[in-house]
Homo-oligomer: A and B are copies of this chain.
Amino acid sequence: MRVSKLFTKTLKNAPADEVAKNAQLLIRAGYVYKEMAGVYAYLPLGLRVIEKIKQIVREEMNGIDSNELIMTTLQRKEIWEKTTRWDDEIVDVWFKTRLKDDTELGLGWSHEEPIVEMMKQYVSSYKDLPISLYQFQTKMRNELRAKSGIMRGREFVMKDMYSFHASKEDMDAYYEQAIEAYKRVYDRLGIGNDTYVTFASGGAFTKFSHEFQTICDAGEDIIYLHREKNVAVNEEVIDDAVKELGIAREELEKVKTAEVGNIFNFGTQKTDEMDLYFTGEDGKQHSLYIGSYGIGITRVMGVVAEKMSDEKGLVWPENIAPFKVYLVSIGEKGSTKADELYKELTDKGVEVLYDDRDERPGTKFADAELTGIPYRVTVSDRAIESNEYELTNRGDGSTAKLPIDDLRAKLLELV
């Protein structure tokens, strides 16, 4: 894409009321636009990052035989009343609205109940099980405060997956598969090394659920961590965990983290509450086992922006950067040559953001750094003359000077 065709601009300042570093950077670099606290539009660059994160998650969820679908934002009161979760005293993040005939509706803050309700149409026999399904849904949560930028939104994108099983054994096996798929997701997103499977509070059915917590100063959680043993415990269950797991509290390090995913085993609780049953091989009616698995897509983007950035701007990991290459043209011959290179690279599938604007080199370099694209290539009159082209790595700041053929070969590896 040509920067001259992009409608966004980098900005000197984020809005004065924006206190979160992730949103400040993302707004300044033209990735997001703040509609109101906790509600952000995703501009062309931001949408590309979201879609890349989604695609990684999609591939891993498809890999464990989950089916993608999309549920609705508008939700019926009756469904949520079955589990008492319509009540604002019990769920305090509802946005509610009304039809013309005054029927109350809710805006989906979660989709557990509607998914279970829907499954009544598709599950009757043990032959229909197991089932796993997921969606990328825009969730609405009426948060009292929303000061963490895109890390805690009132409107945000979440991947939520649900699995349905005939037996505890099958449920447990899938739960383990999901943990492994989640680990692959965070590895591919570039935050695997700082993300820990963390014991968190369970429910009626299990003592613990599992959260995926990423070390992050701007996070809202505290976990206790044993890096060598790879054990992590959410503060909320530390007393129980110390007892259960036989670990000494003193050995654990207290760190600030952001929850980037969670998985939860409901057992048969939801089935029973919502009257979803199946007929077993024995001809009798049985309860289903249900698991629920979330990943905050926009939150992950915020966490990466917080963690992978410096005083100059964002530093995207290659897998989720909106473009791989930021191509800067300088001078007249530089522009002609850069046009050629841009065409060649994009034709061959390299994702290039081409700064073809009539701006000073300093402005282009600063924008390249703020935008955080992994590789910057500079095509100037001087580079052409000397056949020495600058290839700058945004991550470590290093610059190599390469003849055009070597440069081209290196860039084509980025497909």
Decide: A100 near B144, CB < 8 A? Known: A35-B76, A41-B72, A155-B74: yes
- A70–B156 Cα distance when bound, in Å, is 12
Decide: A155 near B72, CB < 8 A? Known: A95-B97, A138-B138: yes
Listed residue (A7, A47, A50) with the most chain B CB atoms within 10 angstroms of its CB:
A7
Query: Could you say which residues of chain B place their CB within 8 Å of the CB of A11?
Result: 121
Query: Could you say which residues of chain B place their CB within 8 Å of the CB of A73?
Result: 73, 138, 140, 155
Decide: A35 near B67, CB < 8 A? Known: A8-B122, A100-B142: no
Query: Could you say which residues of chain B place their CB within 8 Å of the CB of A74?
Result: 35-36, 39, 95, 140, 154-155
Residue pair A70, B97 in contact (C-beta under 8 Å): no
Query: Could you say which residues of chain B place their CB within 8 Å of the CB of A67?
Result: 5-8, 43-44
Listed residue (A8, A35, A118, A142) with the most chain B CB atoms within 10 angstroms of its CB:
A35
Query: Could you say which residues of chain B place their CB within 8 Å of the CB of A97?
Result: 95-97, 107
- A98–B107 Cα distance when bound, in Å, is 12
Closest beta carbon of chain B to A253's beta carbon, Å: 36
Closest beta carbon of chain B to A90's beta carbon, Å: 16
The count of identical subunits is 2
Which residue of B5, B68, B99, B114 contacts A47 across the interface (Cβ within 8 Å)?
B68
Decide: A69 near B44, CB < 8 A? Known: A36-B76, A39-B74, A74-B36: yes
Query: Could you say which residues of chain B place their CB within 8 Å of the CB of A138?
Result: 73, 138
| Contact flags A66-87 to B (C-beta < 8 A → 1, else 0) | 0111111111100000000000
Residue A238 at the B interface, CB < 8 A?
no
Residue A9 at the B interface, CB < 8 A?
yes
Decide: A69 near B41, CB < 8 A? Known: A121-B11, A142-B100, A155-B74: yes
Query: Could you say which residues of chain B place their CB within 8 Å of the CB of A9?
Result: 122, 128
Residues facing B in A211-228 (CB within 8 A) are none
Decide: A71 near B41, CB < 8 A? Known: A33-B118, A131-B7: yes
Residue A42 at the B interface, CB < 8 A?
yes
Residue A180 at the B interface, CB < 8 A?
no
Give chain A's interface residues, CB within 8 Å of chain B.
5-9, 11, 33, 35-36, 39-44, 46-47, 50, 65, 67-76, 95-100, 105, 107, 114, 118-119, 121-122, 128, 131-133, 138, 140, 142-144, 154-155
7 A-B pairs with C-beta separation under 8 A: A5-B67, A7-B133, A40-B72, A42-B70, A44-B69, A95-B98, A97-B107
